[in-house]
A and B are shown apart, each in its own frame.
Chain A
Amino acid sequence: MIDVRDETLVTGFVTEGNGSVRHNSVSHVSNPTTHDCFIEVTGLTHIYYRAKPGECRALSGVDLTIKKGEYLAVVGPNGSGKSTLARHFNALLLPSSGKVLVDGLDTNQPEHIWEIRRRVGMVFQNPDNQIISSLVEEDVAFGAENLGLLPAQVRARVAEALEQTGLTGFRLHAPHLLSGGQKQRLAIAGVLAMQPTCLVLDEPTAMLDPAGRRELLNTLERLNRSFGITVVLVTHFMEEAARADRVLVLAAGKTVLMGTPAEVFSQDKILEELGLELPAPTQIARGLKRRGFLIPGASLTPDDLVKAVLDKQIGYEEAGGRFSCFPKGSTRTVPLLPSVIKVENLTHIYAPGTPFQVTSLDNVSLEIYKGEFLAVVGATGSGKSTLVQHFNGLLKPTRGKLVVCGLDVSDKQVSRTLWRKVGLVFQRPEQQFFEETVFDDVAFGPRNMGLGKDEVKERVEEALRLAGLDPLQVGQLSPYRLSGGMKRRAAIAGVLALRPEVLALDEPTAGLDPQGRRQLLDRLENVRREWGVTIILVTHSMEEVGLLAGRVAVLNRGRLSMVGTPREVFSRAEELREMGLDIPIPAAIMTRLQAAGKPVRTDILSNSEAEAEIAKILPETGKQGDGSRASR
């Protein structure tokens, strides 16, 4: 199977970006057997008619074969055509040119559409937007009902689908009360009730917490292995893609790479050029190879890497400072600075006195220091958003005391002006645009502060620049014309323009591609260093916490269960998992190595630290004299 592209071809395509280079030697040419082939895409081009200028060709000339029972991951930067491609698999979109055959049925023929949609089920990114009924059982039944099955058959299939997704106990629950991971499993159950051959999932984990992601991925793997269901997973997370049988990399509507995860993730240069990244274990293994160690295999998952390291059953030298192991970044130490927010015994109860009463925060005490980078983590519904909404006076404590920037929040005068001091960025802030131009939208806050025209202009331009956007370039554009990552940063600029003393952000990187995430986080750290702003980051990504935060606060069911440096907190992996959280992948790898009896530290936060720590236990004999073998 020819899977890895010639590098010159790819580079040529990335820079020139026109259709002059044909890429149809991918996989089906060398594998034309049709009996086990389930979806066959030939020369697929898709053109959106009402598209933004310059973006009309979402797919151009994609060739692809998906085998029955295969697990395929589709990755690519935002706007690369992943979702468009996914929607061709069940005839939600029809080819502008080219052909899509599903189980031998042509999506272009209207009489096949319903059979194709029955065989290829689809799950979307936002769990709330695909729920039809207000009862779990009825929602699962929706698809089966549309097939015109007898009620008894529908009931049997619903029961089976709930069983397969582990939701049997929730049959009579209201879907909007389920957690994010449960909602996505509900969406899968709704598809399974139609007894499909294939499941297509479009970024299903983008809005989930670590436990939700684990649940969902395990469910997918079980369906694929035990029930032989073909799975197509569109994702921004390379760790998820690494668990698939094959990975397809799309960019600008074209196939760039296609092959097993090992093959695809060996092309680090190409991936980097596209703004994608390698899975964390692969990155660590590459680093070790660069240091001259021979790590066999591709090390796609933590298990692979741990196994590869343990397989070197040769004695190790006592770890004796062969490598300096931790970069002592001075910015990461907890500053002994005055507190900027002081929370004392804060309790918040929603809808008190109704049957829907919920205690969202329960006796939380926390001190946040000036200029620090604090991460707030916790499973969905643990009270993270509720907590940060107290910081700028949007919510009032039911009980307890809150002092922000030296002011007592219980004073009404104070809570009304707190927005000038504490900037709060909500989830998906780009959905809150309302002005015609980026400039006007960012200027909304400064204008509400009653600033003069010149000062407003100065602040808007400063905020846009801090967010990594050129005010001259984007200022007069409509916010909807920006790309995903830029849109997000423009929305954050709207809060930066207030020049807040504290900046709290609720999952600012959700739904962005790896490059978008990196750029955004870089900008945040930059703002903190330049302005001395205190940053409070609410996130589901433990890797972000490990890379950026000075301290972490862990919320569990409304209670503050841990506060400390990331190293301290992540050393309690078991407790975190019980709370629906996780530890960063490099830390998980080290924990496993330690469990296997290796004398390594487990309080590891980044790939490079893990690399250095593993290097300590690898025998000198494993080192390769000539770099050529190791770098393969």
Chain B
Amino acid sequence: MFSSLTMGQYIPGESLLHRLDPRTKVVCVLVVGVAVLVALGWAGFVPAVLITIAAIALSGFSPRLIIRGLRPLWLILTVTFLLQLLLTPGEVLLELGPLHISWEGLEAGSQLFLRLGLLIFLASLLTQTTTPVSLTAGLESLLAPLTRVGVPAHELSMMMTIALSFIPTLMQEADILVKAQRSRGAGLAGGPAGWIKNMIPLLVPLFAGAMRRADDLAIAMEARCYRGGANRTRIRSLRFGPADYVSVAVCLAALAGTLVLR
């Protein structure tokens, strides 16, 4: 029912990409992401595509694994491509009854497909090579300057860490609940009213369980002296190495390249 391969799930490894400072990876994803968004024309995509291919090569993952992890998103990508393809006016290439496919539509659709695809690739490479804890440590450190204007950087990042580590557990719990209620004949009523009726035996205990877990975890954290961000240190202090400087420089160069090629 629930695939055990969650999108963007961390996959352990020792590759260069795994070892980069999380801040570097976040900054690089942001920089290349901007490059992807501002790119105009096919040539404009070249730097971002090169960076993405290089990143995949450096991650040590097989491209098949990455593509498989993105499976849930293929539908969205395809739908946006088709909408662009069919709804962009211009020189008609092909006519299928009421549907017109234009050259402009094909180009706009493909470019949007590429744009979204690259963004998804970059984001999932980030989460697949960075543990949730070091990712949030990176974000916290990047957001730290904003605490002065009242942004709760530490709290935000801790919330993210916990949410991420709870997802697999909640999926498992939902799976068991579905099975338990099906063992008592749930899920047989049809129609929209039936669908809502079927969800109650699932959602009520799922929420109750999530609350109970949250409560347990809060107590476990307090018992281990957690009291917010003050005084907290990290087992790995974040430090930029040569590889980090090079990565950021390369990504900035790619952004510059994109702007030049516009």
Contacts and interface: CB of A to CB of B under 8 A. Distances in A.
B216 A133 contact: no
B183 A392 contact: yes
Contacts of B3: 351, 354
Interface in B162-218: 162, 164-165, 168-169, 176-177, 179-186, 188, 200-201, 204-205, 208-209, 212-213, 216-217
B217 A132 contact: yes
Contacts of A424: 179-180, 183
B224 A142 contact: yes
Contact of A134 (B165, B181, B225): B165
Contact of A432 (B177, B222, B224): B177
Residue of B11, B161, B180, B216 ringed by the most chain A CB atoms within 10 A: B180
B109 interface: no
Contacts of B74: none
Interface string A113-157: 010011001101010111111110110011111111111001100
Interface string A84-98: 000100101000000
Given A355-B5, A431-B209, A434-B205, A419 B235 contact: no
A145 B4 contact: no
Contacts of A121: 223-224
A394 B216 contact: no
Interface in A396-454: 419-420, 423-424, 426-427, 429, 431-434, 444-445, 448-449
B222 A148 contact: no
B12 interface: yes
B19 interface: no
Interface in A186-203: 187, 190-191, 194
Given A145-B233, A146-B227, A148-B232, A432 B200 contact: no
B5 A354 contact: yes
Contacts of B133: 133-135, 138
Contacts of A354: 3-5, 68
Nearest to B62: A355
A29 interface: no
B4 A351 contact: yes
B216 A194 contact: no
A619 to B, nearest CB: 54
B219 A92 contact: yes
Contact of B201 (A126, A142, A149, A434): A434
B208 A444 contact: no
Nearest to A125: B216
Interface string A352-382: 0011100000000000000000000000000
Contacts of B201: 432, 434, 444
Given A146-B226, A151-B235, A132 B161 contact: yes
A495 B184 contact: yes
Nearest to B230: A148
A172 interface: yes
SS of B interface (majority) = helix
Contacts of A495: 183-184
A134 B169 CA distance: 11
Contacts of B225: 114, 117-118, 143, 146-147, 194
A383 interface: no
B232 A145 contact: yes
Contact of A448 (B169, B186, B200, B221): B186
Contacts of A429: 180
Interface in A446-502: 448-449, 494-495, 498
A492 to B, nearest CB: 12
A426 B165 contact: no
B222 A176 contact: no
B65 interface: yes
A626 to B, nearest CB: 54
Interface residues of B, number: 55
A326 interface: no
B132 interface: yes
A356 B5 CA distance: 7
A493 B217 CA distance: 31
A595 interface: no
A158 interface: yes
A145 B176 contact: no
Nearest to A158: B235
B127 to A, nearest CB: 11
B220 interface: yes
Contacts of B4: 350-351, 354, 356
Contacts of A356: 4-5
A426 B177 CA distance: 9
B234 interface: yes
B59 interface: no
Nearest to B164: A134
A254 to B, nearest CB: 24
Contact of B182 (A126, A137, A419): A419
B224 A143 contact: yes
A-B CB proximity, top 10 nearest: A448-B185, A129-B216, A143-B224, A130-B220, A434-B204, A148-B231, A141-B235, A445-B184, A122-B223, A146-B225
23 contacts: A92-B222, A121-B223, A128-B169, A128-B213, A129-B213, A130-B216, A133-B132, A138-B131, A138-B133, A142-B224, A146-B224, A174-B12, A354-B5, A354-B68, A420-B185, A424-B179, A426-B176, A429-B180, A434-B204, A444-B181, A444-B186, A448-B186, A498-B185
Interface of B: 3-5, 10-12, 65, 68, 131-134, 161-162, 164-165, 168-169, 176-177, 179-186, 188, 200-201, 204-205, 208-209, 212-213, 216-217, 219-227, 231-237
Given A148-B232, A350-B4, A354-B5, 19 more contacts: A124-B216, A129-B217, A134-B132, A141-B235, A145-B232, A145-B234, A146-B224, A146-B225, A146-B227, A146-B231, A151-B237, A154-B235, A172-B12, A194-B224, A356-B5, A426-B179, A431-B208, A432-B201, A494-B184
